[in-house]
């Protein structure tokens, strides 16, 4: 493959062996009508179910497949980064392997790009197959993030999106190790349109996210793009100090005026535990930022590539396929 493909489809894959055949088939169907040259960039995020091998054995009919195998599971954010950094296309689309993001929408996204738009965001109108709890927490998080970071991150927008080369090059200039992609994408800006779609339930397999991980991502998102929690910590400190001062004055006044005998064990304990809690929370918030600074200062790469495999396009039905292996 020498010439630059028009469109790169970046697909992070983590133990998705069950959906890959369907995924490839749907992509092929959806992209068959496009006149653009297409490259499929699968990022195997340390799967242990033979995803990469399956992909290497199944060339696609729409374009070259590149399989980037990471050295271990780095998480979807890192996998997407790896895909976007390796993909060569003039425009790139990030799409989940589990078919929750319908590939049929790709031509519509490409149309917007051809009109000169740099970023096409896909906004979920509905999210079937997701629990009320997940929807609620996701909405709450979006609201928190938007209000605390001043970034224009539209609600219900996931990673499914098209980005022009320009936008991806801009994204590549953001070197941070803590990669909250939705925030990074929003930070880049560029002319953007938002298209709406109905999110499908997962085609097969189970979601790789647990609530614990989602809350980790939420903390990550907020602390990566805002220092407001630190300001809240100061505010909490001020309020506690003020209340403490007022309470202290009241006790002194009471002792002087009424000659209070020793008393007040419950209030003492209440104040101590309240202050103890407030201090721990504050130290925790500060710690979160210190930890981030520590991680960033180590300058470790976001991901490590074990191997990149290129699978040539399958031209005719029966023709044998060539397979090149390149060491990364
Ligand atoms: N994924 C990944 N690395 C991970 C977890 C997930 O590359 O550590 C991929 C996964 O294969 C899928 C996409 O990210 O293509 C979205 O994952 P999932 O469907 O589990 O997330 P959800 O749709 O529930 O948010
Ligand atoms: Mg999914």
Rg over alpha carbons for the chain, rounded to the nearest Å, is 25
How far is Cα 51 from Cα 43, in angstroms, rounded to an integer? Answer: 10
b/e per residue, 139-167, with b = 16+ CB within 10 A? eebbebbeebbebebeebbbbbbbbbbeb
What is the spatial order of strands in the sheet that 305-311 belongs to?
192-198, 119-126, 157-164, 91-94, 7-13, 38-44, 63-70, 305-311, 323-327
- Ligand 1 center to 95 CA (angstroms): 10
Encoded tokens for 58: 């199944």
What pLDDT score does 256 carry?
A: 87
Please tell me if the CB atom of residue 207 comes closer than 6 angstroms to any atom of ligand 1.
Answer: yes
How far is Cα 285 from Cα 86, in angstroms, rounded to an integer? Answer: 35
**Strand ranges in the chain using DSSP code E only, listed in sequence order:** 7-13, 38-44, 63-70, 91-94, 119-126, 157-164, 192-198, 305-311, 323-327
pLDDT band at 2 (very low <50, low <70, confident <90, very high): low
Asked whether the predicted pLDDT for residue 283 surpasses 70, the reply is: yes
Looking at beta carbons, which pairs linking 228-234 to residues 24 or more positions away fall under 8 Å?
A: 228/148, 228/149, 229/148, 229/285, 229/288, 230/285, 230/286, 230/289, 232/285, 233/281, 233/282, 233/285, 233/286
Fold for domain 7-209+300-311?
A: Spore Coat Polysaccharide Biosynthesis Protein SpsA; Chain A (3.90.550)
How far is Cα 305 from Cα 38, in angstroms, rounded to an integer? Answer: 22
Residue nearest to atom 21 of ligand 1 (CA): 207
Mean pLDDT of 22-46: 89
The residue length of the chain stands at 328
- Ligand 1 center to 15 CA (angstroms): 9
User: Which of 49, 77, 98, 103 is the best mutation target for the ligand 1 pocket, counting ligand atoms within 8 Å of the beta carbon and taking the most?
Assistant: 98
Q: Which residues pair with 121 in a beta bridge?
A: 161, 194
Asked whether the predicted pLDDT for residue 166 surpasses 70, the reply is: yes
Q: Which residues pair with 181 in a beta bridge?
A: none
Asked whether the predicted pLDDT for residue 99 surpasses 60, the reply is: yes
Looking at beta carbons, which pairs linking 212-216 to residues 24 or more positions away fall under 8 Å?
A: 214/134, 214/137, 214/138
DSSP 191: S
User: Which of 158, 208, 221 is the best mutation target for the ligand 1 pocket, counting ligand atoms within 8 Å of the beta carbon and taking the most?
Assistant: 208
Please tell me if the CB atom of residue 165 comes closer than 6 angstroms to any atom of ligand 1.
Answer: no
How far is Cα 99 from Cα 19, in angstroms, rounded to an integer? Answer: 8
- Ligand 1 center to 83 CA (angstroms): 14
What pLDDT score does 129 carry?
A: 67
Asked if residue 73 lies in contact with residue 52, where contact means CB atoms within 8 angstroms, the answer is no
Encoded tokens for 83: 């895909």
Please tell me if the CB atom of residue 76 comes closer than 6 angstroms to any atom of ligand 1.
Answer: yes
User: For the chain, what percent of residues have pLDDT higher than 70?
Assistant: 93
Using the atom order of ligand 1, give the atom closest to the CA of residue 206.
Answer: 20
Asked whether the predicted pLDDT for residue 44 surpasses 90, the reply is: yes
Q: How far apart are the two ends of the chain, measured CA to CA in Å?
A: 16
Please tell me if the CB atom of residue 14 comes closer than 6 angstroms to any atom of ligand 1.
Answer: yes
Short-list 158, 134, 9, CA closest to 76 = 158
What pLDDT score does 70 carry?
A: 93
What pLDDT score does 327 carry?
A: 43
Ordered by start, the domain boundaries in the chain are 7-209+300-311, 228-298
Mean pLDDT of the chain: 83
Using the atom order of ligand 1, give the atom closest to the CA of residue 79.
Answer: 7
How far is Cα 261 from Cα 300, in angstroms, rounded to an integer? Answer: 62
b/e per residue, 90-110, with b = 16+ CB within 10 A? bbbbbbbbbbbbbbebbeebb
pLDDT, tens digit (0-9, with 9 covering 90-100), for 179-230: 788 788 888 888 888 888 887 777 777 776 677 877 777 888 888 878 888 8
Minimum-distance ligand to the CA of 134? 1
- Ligand 2 center to 99 CA (angstroms): 7
Residue nearest to atom 8 of ligand 1 (CA): 75
- Ligand 1 center to 294 CA (angstroms): 27
């Amino acid at each position: 493959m020498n010439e630059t493909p028009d469109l790169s489809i970046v697909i992070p894959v983590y133990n998705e062996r069950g959906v890959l055949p369907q995924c490839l088939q749907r992509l092929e169907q959806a992209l068959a009508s496009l006149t653009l040259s297409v490259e499929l960039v699968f990022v195997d995020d340390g799967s242990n179910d033979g995803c990469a091998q399956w992909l290497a054995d199944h060339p696609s009919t729409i374009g070259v497949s590149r399989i980037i195998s990471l050295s271990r599971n780095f998480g979807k954010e890192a996998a997407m980064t790896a895909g976007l950094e390796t993909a060569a296309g003039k425009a790139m689309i990030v799409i989940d392997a589990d078919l929750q993001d319908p590939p049929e929408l790709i031509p519509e996204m490409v149309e917007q790009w051809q009109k000169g738009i740099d970023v096409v965001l896909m906004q979920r109108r509905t999210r079937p197959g997701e629990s009320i709890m997940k929807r609620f927490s996701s909405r709450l998080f979006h609201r928190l993030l938007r209000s605390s970071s001043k970034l224009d991150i539209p609600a219900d927008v996931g990673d499914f999106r098209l980005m022009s080369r320009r936008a991806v090059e801009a994204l590549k200039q953001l070197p941070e190790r803590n990669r909250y992609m939705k925030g990074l994408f929003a930070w880049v800006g560029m002319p953007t349109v938002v298209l709406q779609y109905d999110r499908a339930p997962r085609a097969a397999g189970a979601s790789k996210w647990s609530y614990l991980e989602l809350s980790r991502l939420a903390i990550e998102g907020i602390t990566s793009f805002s220092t407001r929690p630190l300001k809240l910590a100061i505010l909490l400190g001020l309020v506690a100090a003020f209340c403490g001062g007022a309470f202290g004055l009241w006790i002194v006044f009471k002792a002087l005026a009424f000659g209070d005998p020793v008393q007040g064990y419950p209030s003492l304990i209440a104040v101590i535990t309240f202050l103890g809690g407030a201090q721990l929370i504050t130290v925790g918030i500060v710690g979160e930022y210190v930890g981030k600074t520590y991680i960033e200062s180590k300058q470790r790469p976001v991901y490590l590539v074990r191997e990149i495999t290129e699978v040539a396009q399958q031209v005719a039905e029966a023709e044998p396929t060539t397979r090149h292996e390149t060491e990364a």
